[in-house]
Structure 1
Amino acid sequence: MQLSNYLFFTVHCEAALAFYTECGFGKVVSMSRHGDNGMPVRAEAMRGKVMHAQFAGPGVNFYASDNDDAEPMRGSAMIFMIDDLARTEQLFRRLAEGGNITTPFGVQPWGSYYGKLTDKFGVQWMLNCTEQA
C-alpha cells in the first residue's frame, strides 16, 4: 500500500507542475488532457486542460489535475522532510516566490528548521529540516 497526495486545480495545473519542475522536485511522468484520445469533456472550457498527471522525483510522488468544480486547496499540506539545510532553504525561498509565508523558515522549539507557506497556486507546503547549522 502507498499513500500519495492528489492536487486539484481549476485551470492552472500545468503551470503549477512546470513550477514544481523548476523547483527541482522532479518532473511530470505522465499526463492526459480533457478531450484527448476520447477523454470526456464535461465543460468545453476544460478542453486541453490536465485531466490527470503524475509527478515524480527522488522521494516525491503525487498526482494532479484541473477540475472546473475543484474546491480551493485547504486543510491539507504537502510536507518535505529534508536533511540538507542549504537545499531546504533554497527550496523554501523558491516555493515562496509569489506566494504567502505563514511560518518563516527558522529553528523551531522542537529543534528542526521549519517553515510553512502557501505557494502562488494555493498549495500549502511545510518544509522540515533536521540538519543543524
Structure 2
Amino acid sequence: MQLSNYLFFTTTCEQALNFYTACGLGEMTDVLRYGADGMPVRNEAMRGRIMHAKFEGPGILFFASDNDDAEPMRGSAHILQMNDQGLTEQIFSRLAQGGRVTTPLGIQPWGDYYGKLTDQFGVQWMLNCSTKAA
C-alpha cells in the first residue's frame, strides 16, 4: 500500500506540472488528455487538457489533472523531507516564485530547518530539513 496525493486544477495542471519540473522536483511520466486517444470529453473547453498525469522524481510521486468542477486547493500540503539545507533553500525559493511564503525558512522550535509556502497554483508546500546528524 502507498499513499499518494492527487492534485485537482481547473485548467492549469500542465502549467503547474511544468513549473514543478522547472523547480527540480521531477517530471510527468504519464499523461492522458481529454479528447486524445479515445479519452472522453464531457466539456469541449477541456479538450486537450490533462485528464490524468503521473508526476515522479527522486522520492516524489503524485498525480494531477484538470477538472472544470475542481474545488480550490485547501486543507492539504505536500511535505518534502529533506537532508540538504542548500537544496532545501533552492527548491523553496523556486516553489515560492509567484506564490506566498507563510513560514519563512528557518530553524524551528523542534530543531529542524523548515518553511511553508503556497505556490502560484494554490498548492501548499512544507519543506523540512533535519539538522540532526543521521
Bucket of the pairwise TM-score, normalised by the shorter protein: over 0.9
Aligned-pair CA distance for 1:37: 1.2
Match of 2:2 in 1: 2
Deviation track 1:73-121 (CA, whole Å, cap 9, x = no partner) reads: 1000000000100000111111000000111111100000110000001
1:35-74 equivalences under 5 Å are 35-74=35-74
Aligned-pair CA distance for 1:36: 0.7
Aligned-pair CA distance for 1:131: 2.9
Distance 2:42 2:129 in 1: 43
1:78-93 equivalences under 5 Å are 78-93=78-93
Match of 1:119 in 2: 119
Q: Which amino acid aligns with 1:115?
A: G
Runs of at least 4 residues off by over 6 Å = none
Kept in 1, the 8 Å contact 2:111–2:131? The answer is: no
Kept in 1, the 8 Å contact 2:9–2:70? The answer is: yes
Distance 1:59 1:120 in 2: 23
Q: Percent identity?
A: 67
**Which secondary structure state, in structure 2, belongs to the residue aligned with residue 3 of structure 1?**
coil
Aligned-pair CA distance for 1:48: 0.4
Match of 1:29 in 2: 29
**Which secondary structure state, in structure 2, belongs to the residue aligned with residue 37 of structure 1?**
coil
Distance 2:82 2:37 in 1: 39
Count of aligned residue pairs for this structure pair = 132
The RMSD of aligned alpha carbons is 0.8
Distance 2:42 2:3 in 1: 28
Q: Which amino acid aligns with 2:19?
A: F
Distance 1:82 1:131 in 2: 10
- Gapped regions of structure 1 (runs ≥ 5): none
Distance 1:67 1:89 in 2: 32
